[in-house]
Structure 1
């Protein structure tokens, strides 16, 4: 009868109250423990959607540690929270990038350039591990310092190292320093754009037994993981920031925070967690006698 002319607002309110009490998911930030966890995550740069997913993954058996991203947005913009200025921790929207068309590539400037078309299909599918995307992030003048960034495609784990300039020799040294301590099976190849800073790629390849592929001109989407991680770095070091006074230790701290941030496409795991899982798989295979391969007939 609640749908008829004798609808009772009081009865409807009672039913709503009963449903709310019986709900297993809290609709407000009623828990001090939940509030503290959410505040800490926001200050670390996590989005409300990431927070919702990570809570479900980490506290699967604890319904008190739940909040939807819609409710979290409402909570952030609610009047009682404005004094905390939580909106500053929300990511700003960015303009959508469009691919440039109708431009022809210049002649080859990189010796021994292997195009991305020759890269194994397994690399593109992200089913394999140990395949990286490479790039250079340039700082503002007058300093010539920049950073070399490498992103493992499966785990999305970021590596970054400061370099004195964008020269090919400085870039090759930075790449060597990044990759030399990574197990060989976890550093199979990398994909660069067509910048001349990668023109000495063969030195790193020969020293470490790696391969290098090059994306098509004006096709940054072919290295989307690296573009995404560079965007995360820019949250800490916006465009227009010079790297002259930036210490490697400070960059390492930024990279560590990025790699400890869960990602939806990783099932709300962090890049570090997925990287560690893949390294453990490699170690397990190496230790298993059943995985040995005969080198002679």
Structure 2
């Protein structure tokens, strides 16, 4: 009788060796005393696609993906029973944070304590329970909808992006905000997801930049990025980290034309670009969701961005993003830079 238990880490090590030797799925199944369908499902779920289009099965990556999937499944229905987590979630909902930002920040602040790891879906499910609906917690959501609606945002196509480099390969000095000149990019959508604003925020100084785009596509996005970064000195534009939307399909042109590196966050992990998301949240104060950006001039947009960049920030020791940006650039170039 075949073993019905889940595939173990040891079996994944053997499976990786067998596939490297060129064995068929059926032969791998025979050697592991598994049904061929189990092997096929394992390879399909836990392999990864390289930039050259080749699929690879690596045991350590497969085990990590499986453990992450298992953990998410176990915690998908978890309510806010931890009083510390409950207090954090409710406080930050009142601050206007999205459930995704709250869940991501908790995980970021407690990377070694899974007791604090909850999903955005857990928070949404809690908000839309009958008791919380009566208390009006949905009012703290940006859409303020009493009933949940199916999201109709643009789809993410990770495999469609050529020369994609994962955020997991981003240098540690960038991750720790030890080096100046690294940005996070995103698209703020307008009415009906057609037009929008491409935004970038520098990770150390929190300098914010943006350009209107008539359509959310790769051509408009790379054009906006070029207009943002071409004005900057090289030390101020070393890299940007993006999401996996099709509008970032032409990211490699930043490397070709401006010698900038590009990194991509994991799918459905907006918290990995939390700096930019916070900037977009500030922008939404001026341009709420549903804004028709065709009715907003470029001059009006830049006035708003300048106001954001001249606002003192606690995280910057109450300096403004413009002040920190210029001071950091002076250290690298010895010149003041106004953008």
Matched, 1:111 2:114: no
Residues in 2 aligned to 1:277 and 1:271: alpha-carbon distance in whole angstroms: 10
Cα separation, 2, equivalents of 1:107 and 1:175? 20
Superimposed CA distance per residue, residues 213-261 of structure 1 (whole angstroms, 9 cap, x where no aligned partner): 0001111111111000000000000111110111110000000000011
Which has more helix, going by share of residues? 2
Residue 114 of structure 1 aligns to a residue whose secondary structure is coil
Measured after TM superposition, the shift of residue 93 of structure 1 is: 3.6
- Structure 1 counterpart of 2:75: none
Note the C-alpha offset of 1:107: 5.6
- Aligned twin of 1:122: 173
- Distance of aligned partners of 1:214 and 1:242 in 2 relative to their CA distance in 1, 3 Å threshold: same
Alignment of 1:98-177 (within 5 A): 98=103, 99=119, 108-141=159-192, 144-177=194-227
Q: Report 1:1-297 matches (<5 A).
A: 93-97=96-100, 98=103, 99=119, 108-141=159-192, 144-284=194-334
* TM-score, scaled to structure 2: 0.54
Contact 1:100 1:218 in 2 (8 A): no
Unaligned runs of 5+ in 1: 1-90, 286-297
Q: Secondary structure at the match of 2:191?
A: coil
1:166-208 deviations in Å (ceiling 9; x for gaps):
1101101110010001001110000001111001001122000
Q: Which has the larger radius of gyration?
A: 1
Q: 2:97 and 2:186 mapped to 1: Cα distance? A: 20
8 Å Cα contact 1:259/1:271 also seen in 2: yes
Q: Which runs of 4+ in 1 moved over 3 A?
A: 91-96, 98-101
Q: Answer whether contact 2:184 2:202 (CA < 8 A) is retained.
A: yes
The two structures, once aligned, show a CA RMSD in angstroms of 2.1
Question: Kindly tell me: are residues 240 and 184 of structure 1, through their superposed partners in 2, closer, same or farther at Cα, counting changes over 3 Å?
Answer: same
How far 1:144 moved relative to its partner?
A: 2.7
Q: Is the 8 A contact 2:207 2:309 kept in 1?
A: yes
Q: Distance in 2 between matches of 1:145 and 1:106?
A: 19
Question: Is the CA contact 1:191–1:213 (under 8 Å) kept in the aligned structure 2?
Answer: yes
The answer on whether the counterparts of 1:132 and 1:150 sit within 8 Å (CA) in structure 2 is yes
Q: Specify the alignment match of 1:74 in structure 2.
A: none
Aligned residue for 1:227, secondary structure, equals helix
Residues paired across the two proteins, number: 192
Tell me the CA shift for residue 92 of structure 1. 6.2
**Secondary structure of 1:108 counterpart:** helix
The change in CA–CA distance for 1:146 and 1:235 in structure 2 (over 3 A counts) is same
Could you state the TM-score of these two structures normalised by the residue count of structure 1? 0.61
Contact 2:158/2:245 (CA < 8 Å) preserved in 1?
A: no
Deviations 1:109-140 (A, max 9, x none): 10100000111000010010000000000101
Q: Structure 2: state its 5+ residue gaps.
A: 1-93, 104-118, 122-155
